[in-house]
Structure 1
């Protein structure tokens, strides 16, 4: 029987055997549960004493988007201090003297943090049972949403680990990780809408045809919405995105998965290289 990575075992015990874990899990479920009950209450006020079954789809969309927003807040916060925290406690050099390679250390930190996030997501399954009570949602859509969450958690976790490996202080690492996560979640969406409107304005003659190439701009808009978490989640839920007329040959969720898995692996590889003693790394000269 292969031995369990000692760093991974230590991290899992620290995350799952503390009272803070139970409180964080309870708070996470309380926030999502409050949104669900609030939505049902507003629907009940519209039709006193009755919750209309056709509103279950709207409830499912609201619940899925709410969980995506919460994951965007939780994942970077959990991973942005995994390496910088070791550096601040002056235990990183001791950790590097063990038999574990930098790659094993990085993966151990990532897996332990993501395991806790997966627990948070799995704990919300009873809330989704409320949707199944009224119908209107296919089980494949629920599985697709949870698969989408796993890919998103992986990338956000890799961003947090990379920031934690590059910056010396956890505070700077956390702010940077949140900024990059926001840029992916909101920045790509705003840019896609802006470019689409520019393309429409050019088609109506509002902009000189030489300013933008319509076909190239349509490809860019399609790619941006295929890597945007909100647009991809809406596509999984059956909603329409920005019409571009461009087809990459793959559904949006497949492009999202391939791009984010590749980006996450590259970030982990870069993070491991940053931990190599004497390896080439670009440091910020000021004390961050």
Structure 2
């Protein structure tokens, strides 16, 4: 039983991932970026005199800012870790040897993805002391922290699965990386753009409801907002922004529900296609 659960690809990737000096350098850079933003926010609030304190409302805004920045860093770092997982093996001409082992396609894909997610999870855990600063001033509950970290992991797994899939179907790492970053630009930027465009179109066309009055209901705008990671962070942490989104779209449903459904379904689809495409040119015995 234990032999079936053992994954040599995962063990090899974990050792290589955590032993590289550039991994330690990346972690330090990641933490330094969070510290710089937090220190800058503190200096702005205290009028650059280095003294004073944060009110609970200001502490909440600092937590909100750190959450948005951390989500942006996840969307920026994850493609760089996963987009070359399979294509780099192909470029080094080691993929054929890997496919000829007794490891199944699922074990190879799962091992590559899990090693990247483990490193990203280590980054999130390393950032916990920085997040703990906000608890000194109040305004943030532990449940909010746990909730936002849960959606961090959901987003990481989805983005990682997209990178693994694009790395599987492309021959060069640079192509897979550019395509994965393009997908992240779509999820983070174009969805927000389409959200506002849809709202503007609804206002200008003046859709009429049953009573002849303009109806604010916009399922399409709600959909674009529900798959945007930034909108998820803002509406999950701020009830005022969640109410504002409900007023703009006319749909009273927390966006974390369709967000979770969409990202879990997308993850399952990407992993399924990655497993199917990994040995697409090999004959089955």
Equivalent residue number for residue 51 of structure 1: 53
Structure 2 distance, partners of 1:279, 1:97, is 10
Stretches of structure 1 that go unaligned for 5 or more consecutive residues are 281-288
Where in structure 1 do 4 or more consecutive aligned residues deviate above 3 Å? 214-217
Instruction: Give how far 1:272 is off.
Output: 1.1
| 2:223 aligned with 1:223 | yes
Structure 2 distance, partners of 1:146, 1:94, is 38
Per-residue displacement from partner, 1:95-154 (whole Å, max 9, x unpaired)? 011111111111110000111001111111001111000001111111111011011101
Structure 1 distance, partners of 2:215, 2:13, is 49
Instruction: Give how far 1:277 is off.
Output: 4.4
TM-score normalized with structure 1 length: 0.89
User: Is the contact made by 1:195 and 1:217 (CA closer than 8 Å) also made in structure 2?
Assistant: no
User: Is the contact made by 1:60 and 1:131 (CA closer than 8 Å) also made in structure 2?
Assistant: yes
TM-score normalized with structure 2 length: 0.90
| 2:178 aligned with 1:175 | yes
Stretches of structure 2 that go unaligned for 5 or more consecutive residues are none
Tell me the secondary structure at the aligned position of residue 45 of structure 1: coil
Aligned residues: 271
Instruction: Name the Cα RMSD after superposition.
Output: 2.1
| 2:33 aligned with 1:31 | yes
Per-residue displacement from partner, 1:163-190 (whole Å, max 9, x unpaired)? 1001100001100000001101111111
Distance of aligned partners of 1:108 and 1:215 in 2 relative to their CA distance in 1, 3 Å threshold:
farther
Structure 2 distance, partners of 1:99, 1:260, is 31
| 2:172 aligned with 1:164 | no
| 2:236 aligned with 1:236 | yes
Structure 2 distance, partners of 1:180, 1:117, is 19
Structure 1 distance, partners of 2:170, 2:187, is 20
Q: How does 1:184-263 map to 2 (within 5 A)?
A: 184-203=187-206, 218-238=218-238, 239-240=241-242, 241-242=244-245, 243-247=248-252, 251-263=254-266
User: Is the contact made by 1:155 and 1:263 (CA closer than 8 Å) also made in structure 2?
Assistant: yes
